[in-house]
């Protein structure tokens, strides 16, 4: 029986602007895919990301280029060849996982040999702002176990100290989004120790990885923009202590699980992150996040309104979506 593939652009207004070193956004633009076969429908979502040269029209065109293959039965293994890692492959791969699980009557966690998902700690992210406003934002979520703060090259010390003062008990992740240089990173080492920062995420531009060959950081450094797929790990060994797995980079859950296995084998700390999008994009990532040292899946937390039945957040804890939301029926 042939499948029916549909792909749609959706826009999700944010509750407040989300600002990082590269810019600010007020809407999350996603691509939603549905694969229908018989009485079953599998869904997936991705976030085209301009940092990687992606746009909504481009991702929709990539999906359209493999429509015939998918509708005539191409599977997840075929998809690894048909499309490169990225948002288009992510939406299709996760829709296939969902469809397969519904057709088999076996949820994704069981297919992976795992128990049902449980609540997990997820970082709540503080948008880049003045130290005073970031302190106020931190105070509002001070009971969260893990807080991530966005910084740039201007006044990072003041911002980190302001957040730490407002949230003295939380573990902190600092994310400069490639905005620092090596001199600033060296200067920031005492500040990171002073404020008990647990992880620094991609401080330098991705094409500067080699400068870490002769640098021993005071706190672990996590590769985000520098790490997309398992094949990236050999050049990251000895340079980074952690890697951030995002399904929009790996091209779906299939690639994310491959990267997870390889990263664990190489001794990297694992972080699982996301772009800003709905719970449909987060649900597959939970099956990787359950194995991570750091979870940063608060994308839906930023939306004015999420999909019905999606994840929920309670004081920095992420509660899985309702049964049957994604990954098979209850």
Catalytic residues: 150, 246
Looking at the DSSP bridge assignments, the partners of residue 5 are 35
Q: Give the pairing of strands 312-314 and 294-295.
A: unpaired
CA-wise closest residue to 217 among 197, 232, 247, 245: 197
> If DSSP codes are grouped into helix, strand and coil, which group holds residue 303?
strand
Output the DSSP codes for 211-249.
Answer: GGGG---SS-EEESTT--SGGGHHHHTTT-SEEEE-HHH
Quick one: how far is CA 313 from the chain centroid?
16
Return d(Cα 3, Cα 136) in angstroms, integer: 50
Return d(Cα 311, Cα 297) in angstroms, integer: 10
Task: Tell me how many degrees the CA angle 25-30-36 measures, rounded to the nearest 5.
Answer: 170
Return d(Cα 223, Cα 199) in angstroms, integer: 11
Task: Tell me how many degrees the CA angle 238-217-296 measures, rounded to the nearest 5.
Answer: 85
What ranges in the chain are assigned the alpha helix state H?
A: 56-65, 67-71, 76-82, 87-104, 108-111, 131-140, 156-166, 182-194, 233-236, 247-250, 253-265, 279-282, 286-289
Return d(Cα 228, Cα 245) in angstroms, integer: 7
């Amino acid at each position: 029986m042939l499948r029916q593939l549909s792909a749609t652009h959706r826009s999700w207004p944010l509750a407040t602007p989300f600002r990082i070193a590269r810019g600010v956004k007020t809407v999350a633009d996603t691509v939603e895919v549905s694969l229908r076969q018989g009485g079953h429908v599998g869904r997936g979502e991705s976030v085209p990301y301009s940092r990687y040269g992606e746009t909504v029209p481009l991702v929709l065109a990539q999906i359209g280029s493999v429509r015939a293959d998918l509708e005539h039965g191409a599977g997840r293994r075929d998809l690894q060849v048909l499309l490169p890692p990225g948002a288009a492959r992510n939406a299709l791969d996760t829709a296939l996982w969902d469809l397969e699980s519904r057709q088999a009557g076996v949820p994704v966690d069981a297919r992976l040999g795992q128990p049902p998902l449980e609540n997990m700690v997820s970082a709540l992210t503080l948008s880049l702002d003045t130290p005073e406003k970031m302190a106020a934002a931190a105070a509002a979520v001070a009971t969260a176990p893990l807080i991530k703060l966005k910084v740039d090259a201007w006044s990072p010390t003041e911002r980190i100290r302001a957040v730490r003062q407002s949230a003295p008990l939380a573990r902190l992740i600092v994310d400069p989004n490639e905005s620092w240089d090596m001199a600033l990173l060296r200067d920031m080492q005492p500040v990171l120790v002073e404020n008990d920062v647990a992880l620094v995420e991609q401080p330098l531009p991705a094409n500067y990885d080699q400068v870490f060959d002769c640098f021993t950081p005071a706190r672990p450094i996590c590769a985000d923009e520098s790490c997309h797929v398992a094949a990236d790990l050999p050049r990251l060994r000895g340079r980074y202590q952690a890697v951030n797995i995002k399904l929009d980079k790996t091209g779906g859950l299939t690639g994310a699980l491959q990267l997870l296995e390889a990263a664990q084998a190489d001794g990297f700390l694992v972080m699982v992150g996301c772009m800003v999008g709905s719970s449909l994009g987060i649900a597959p990532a939970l099956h990787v996040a359950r194995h991570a040292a750091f979870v940063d899946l608060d994308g839906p937390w930023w939306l004015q309104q999420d999909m019905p039945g999606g994840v929920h957040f309670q004081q920095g804890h992420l509660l899985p979506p309702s049964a049957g939301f994604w990954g098979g029926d209850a």
